[in-house]
Amino acid sequence: MKKVLVDGHYGTVNLNLGKMLENRPDLEIIYLESSKKVSHEQRVNLLNTADIVILCQSAQTVVETIPLITNRDVKVIDTSNAYRLSPSWVYGMPELSQEQRAKICGARFVSLPAPMAVGTITLINPLLKGKIMPPYLPLYVNSVVGYSSGGANMITMYEDPNRPRAYSSARQYGLDQNILQQKEIMHACGVSYRPALNPMIDDYPNGILVTVPIQLRTLSKRLHSSQIWEVMKRFYEREKLMEVEPYEGSIENLGGFLDAGGMAGSNKMQIFVFGDNDICLLAVRFDNLGKGGAGAVIQNMNLMLGIDEYRGVI
């Protein structure tokens, strides 16, 4: 039986991780919510006797924790942004490629991607890999996410009956366009320039929608939107967590609207391709607490421990 240590309770991953792990009789789960509840020596012992450590901590605390893990047989998943751009850590997105999946399987250190970056990479990676989209193409990314993305503090703020009026509408953030996810997207799939991001948080609990509009005449290969759909369908046809929705009739089936919370409670990602011969709109929606959070942790953990990748996820 593999021993899993969940160290800390910071961030959004912790909101759903315990629920996803509770029905895993193949694992021994140890929760260390606060380092104050045990001595330093006890914590170090726990960190070095687990098969895998899942760090639910702030980036600063993660940096302080890693040197304490001296046992090289212990694997680590970091849910913060401390090591997402580090070349010595593996980026925890198996769907990037089969090579990436193999790297995760053999990795000691894996960093969990941010949901907005996951959505963007999901949409543009097939086009980059197929040399349809040049890496220097200017990218514009829109996203809408529920308030659980801000963790426990933001959930409390949004669910306060006396909250500010502004919380009842969509609020844009990242106004200075200096967002870590820009570098994350570049790091993960080789984009040459920082994409322009238009992220919003809205008044619903969980779920995220990421969209990327593309002027088709700017691509390396001029394709119709239906051909872009075919590329996406082929790329993800063997990925069990990726559902590429039909191109024909998709707008009618959606009633003309694509809601951001439509995949809440799921660990899958729903991919859409809209458009014509001039403009293509790529879209993906998923749960920021599922495939964008705890679901991704479980998937990566399974791979690192040599367990069926989708156990406890599907």
Evaluate whether residue 169 is within a structural domain. yes
Same domain, 208 and 248: yes
pLDDT of 38: 87
- Assigned domain for 107 exists: yes
CATH code, domain carrying 49: 3.40.50.720
Same domain (yes/no): 139, 235: yes
Residues 276 and 301 in one domain: no
Are residues 270 and 131 located together in one domain of the fold? yes
281 membership: H or E segment, kind and range = strand 279-286
Query: Considering the domain boundaries, does residue 119 fall inside one?
Result: yes
Residues 175 and 30 in one domain: no
Both 86 and 161 in one domain: the answer is no
In-domain check, residue 241: yes
111 three-state secondary structure: strand
Asked whether residue 84 falls in the same domain as residue 181, the answer is no
Which pLDDT score, from 0 to 100, does residue 35 have? 60
pLDDT averaged per 10 residues, the chain (length 314)? 94 91 94 80 97 97 98 98 96 98 98 98 98 97 97 95 96 96 96 97 98 97 96 98 96 96 97 98 98 98 98 95
What domain range includes position 275? 115-290
Give me the helices (H) in the chain, please. Answer: 13-21, 40-49, 59-65, 98-105, 115-129, 151-158, 180-189, 225-235, 250-253, 295-305
Per-residue model confidence (pLDDT) at position 37: 75
In a domain, 265, yes or no: yes
CATH code, 126: 3.30.360.10
Please tell me whether residues 134 and 280 are part of one structural domain.
Answer: yes
Q: How many CA atoms lie within 13 A of 205 on its CB side?
A: 10
Residue 69 shares a structural domain with residue 167? no
CA dist., res. 241 & res. 303, Å (int): 15
Domain identity same for 74 and 141: no
pTM of this structure: 0.96
pLDDT at 33: 78
Residues 131 and 187 in one domain: yes
Residue 312 domain-assigned (yes or no): no
Q: Is residue 123 domain-shared with residue 262, that is, in the same domain?
A: yes
CB–CB of 212/143 below 8 Å? no
What is the domain count for the chain? 2
Q: Is residue 34 part of a domain?
A: yes
Residue 138 inside a domain? The answer is yes
